[in-house]
Every structure is written in C-alpha cells, then in structure tokens.
Amino acid sequence: MSVIITGASKGLGKAIAEQFAAAGNHLLLCSRNEVVLNKTKQEFEEKYKDCTINVMAIDISKKENAIAFGNFCLQNGTPDVLVNNAGSFLPGSIHAEKDGVFEAMMQTNLNSAYHLTRTVLSKMIDAKSGHIFNMCSIASLAAYKNGGSYSISKFALLGFSKNLREELKPFNIKVTAIIPGAVYTDSWSNTDVKPERIMEVNDVANMIYAASLLSPQACVEEIIMRPQLGDL
C-alpha cells in the first residue's frame, strides 16, 4: 500500500508510520524538522527492509505547503491510506489566549488536513478506493478547562471527518476519526504525569493499522480511546 502520514517524525505519527513500515508498505512522510524526519526514514529503512520511504520536510499548516506535499505524494502514485496526524496544542481560554492562537490552531489542526485531503482525493476517487484517518481528540467531543482554540480546532476536525464520510461513501473511500485521550509523547516528559497513567503511542497506532486491514465493505467511523483510569 501507499501510505501518507503527516507529522511523522516523532510521537504518534512515528508510531503509526512504523506499523505500516513493518508491513512492507510504501510510506510518504512529512514533518517540519528535516533532521529528525531523515533520521526516522533511515531508521525504518534499516529495520524494515521491505518498506520504501519518501519524505518531505515541510510545514503543512500553510495552505501552499499542504498542496505541495499532496502533489509530491501523487508523483508516487495513488494513495491507499492517508493519515492526517499533524497537529499542535496551545492551551488557553478563549477570552484570555494570545492573539493569533486561534489562527495557529486552525491552520495546523484543521487546514492542513483539509488542503492535503483535497489535493490527493481526486486520484482516490478515480480509483474508487482508499482510507482517510483524521487525528481528532477527546477534545473533539466535549469542552474542557484550558482547551480554548485547540478544542475548537479539534471539534472542527471531527466535523470535517463526518462530512467526508458522507461524501465519500459512493466512491468506496473510508473515513475514520481517531479520538484519543491522553497519549504519552515527548510533550508529557516534563510533567509529573507517569507514563503508566496514560496510553502508549502504539495503542493508537495499532488501532489505526487494524482498521486499515478490514474488508472493503467495513468502515470503522470513529475510534474513541481513553486511558484505562479515564481522562486526566
């Protein structure tokens, strides 16, 4: 399979990429940090001899960059799987957060997925196959303290996923919204939260990979995952 994954050099994105690399797929990866991205590519190619990997270091929160990465991916054929994973988190309250936080959250968490998906979708529609995964959040389901514009952007991403799901049914293209609670990544390393209290990146990666293997007539529309003890 040809698999596109954004924000793929570390954390959840890297874990998802490794699942597909281990199965010998062709990966098309992007992230902003060129050094870390190339290191991830080298690591996977050495570890998983049957996979092939193309990478582009780019900030896809910018419309023109999302389109450029999409066209880069299309040069390598029609995608079978698209994982819109790129995202960022800036905490705050709507009434008090700094000017520009709203735009930053929407551009990174929603616009990147919107423009990349639109760029590659025509080829998937022509092929009448494919699977799109959008990395939403528990913050897509309910407001919470200090969520601010991050939560707004994740609500919007879930709405984007629901609309895509309806639109793409006639073309046999699946759409799955991934809705995880807290997952232990580097962003938690400087906090007092213990790794065993929240989920592992592979918990989410395993679910995405499993959903991608279902028969053509089955679609998991939403995957809601929380730590066993519940949200923090």
Beta strands in the chain (DSSP E): 2-6, 26-31, 52-57, 81-84, 131-135, 174-180, 222-225
Give the list of residues 6+ apart from residue 14 with CB closer than 8 angstroms, or none. 8, 40, 201
User: Could you tell me if 85 and 59 are in contact, meaning their C-beta atoms sit under 8 angstroms apart?
Assistant: no
State residue 171's pLDDT score: 98
- Tell me the pTM: 0.97
**Which DSSP symbol is given to 98?**
P
Sign of CA dihedral 181, 186, 187, 189: positive
**Rounded distance between C-alpha atoms, residue 53 and residue 42, angstroms:** 9
CA distance 128 to 167: 13
List the pLDDT tens digit at each of the 232 positions of the chain.
999 999 999 999 999 999 999 999 999 999 999 999 999 999 999 999 999 999 999 999 999 999 999 999 999 999 999 999 999 999 999 999 999 999 999 999 999 999 999 999 999 999 999 999 999 999 999 998 889 999 999 999 999 999 999 999 999 999 999 999 999 988 787 788 899 999 999 999 999 999 999 999 999 999 999 999 999 8
Distance CA 7, CA 231 (A): 24
150 is catalytic: yes
Mind listing the domains of the chain with CATH numbers?
A: 2-225 (3.40.50.720)
Would you give the DSSP letter of residue 192? S
Angle at 14 between CA 28 and CA 113, to 5 degrees: 60
The active-site residue, picked from 48, 150, 184, 209, is 150
